[in-house]
Amino acid sequence: MSQDPAKASFSQPPEKRSGHIDESPGVLRGSATLTLQSRQAQRLVKGRAHSAEKPAIIGLLGFANLVRTLWHGARADDPYADWWLLQIHEAMVQTEHELVTLEQVISNRFETLGAIDVSLPVSDKPARIALNFSNPYAFRAARLISVFDALACKALSARHVGLIGRDESEKTLHQGGRWVRRALQSPVGYRLLGVTRDDVVQNTAKAIQAGEAMGVIPDDVVRGVRRAPHAPTVMKERPGALTDVVGLRSMPRER
């Protein structure tokens, strides 16, 4: 006796049913690479260590580690971490606007060349750096360096073809680099003291210590009304201690 096809379909093992998912997707993984053409931009990645002759300069690596500490604090409901992230965000927005504006000034010079078409210089061995960051502001800092790299290439090209002089070229590179370093300096001053919003509202000993170390923060930040656009979600359970450190590695050059 033949079996009803409709009933037969329901008698199949679960994994055979239409639309059945055997298992959940695994962890999403991706990669990001920063490619730089100019030495001026490459120097902004590592910064400069402190010495007896010269003060330290925070590079992308140092910035990423500082912001990682801030990220940890913001997840633990530290309003001071939120306040610093807001200032970092504003520094990033301002610096990118300044760099793009300066690049446009140089770009306008190329329009005076008429029929001459100039290709921007490209390094025969560009620096390719794999980025391994845990928060979006470290990636935004990397983007700032890439914007400066484009400015540097354009300024050096304009100097090469006689559109700007040596002094203007050097001034452009110095000014752009100074803006980026200023943005990379923005996390400095924050201290992870374990203070929370409740501490600040109740004016506990931790809150007093934080106020003495980092000053007074706006009331809307304390209340959590104003947070940075890319601030992390506040965790109900406070995350564990910091254990790992952000690192950068150079990628092998293509042959």
pLDDT tens per residue, range 199-233: 999 999 999 999 999 999 999 999 999 999 999 99
SS3 152: helix
Residue 105 lies in a domain: yes
Write down the pLDDT at residue 180: 97
**Is residue 40 helix, strand or coil?**
helix
Residues 189 and 84 sit within 8 Å (Cβ to Cβ): yes
Residues in the chain, overall count: 255
- What's residue 244's pLDDT? 39
Does residue 77 belong to any structural domain of this protein?
yes
Summarised one tens digit per residue, pLDDT across range 47-63 is 888 777 788 889 999 99
Least confident of 24-38, 108-122, 165-179, 228-242: 228-242
Q: Which pLDDT value is given to residue 196? A: 94
60 φ/ψ angles, rounded to the nearest 5 degrees: -60, -40
Residue by residue, DSSP assigns 157-193 as HHHHTTSS-HHHHHHHHHHHHHHHHHHHTTTTT----
Residue 31 has which token pair?
A: 């990669």
Q: What is the mean pLDDT of residues 175-187?
A: 96
Q: Say which DSSP state 35 is in.
A: E
* Side-by-side strand order, sheet with 127-132: 32-36, 127-132, 247-250
> Residue 193: inside a domain, yes or no?
yes
Mean pLDDT across 135-152 = 95
Residue 254's pLDDT band (boundaries 50, 70, 90)? very low
Q: What average pLDDT does this structure show over 93-122? A: 88
Residue 180 lies in a domain: yes
Query: What average pLDDT does range 135-141 have in this prediction?
Result: 94
92 is a domain residue:
yes
Domain containing residue 90? 34-47+55-115+128-233
Total of domains in the chain:
1
48 neighbors 54 (Cβ within 8 angstroms): yes
97 occurs within a structural domain: yes
Decide: 82 and 228 in contact? Cβ < 8 Å: yes
Average pLDDT in the 172-178 region? Answer: 95
Helix (H) or strand (E) holding 36, with range, is strand 32-36
62 inside domain: yes
Which single residue is written with the structure tokens 């990682």? Answer: 68
52: tokens are 């007896």
User: Does 81 reside within a domain?
Assistant: yes
Say if residue 190's pLDDT is above 90. Answer: yes
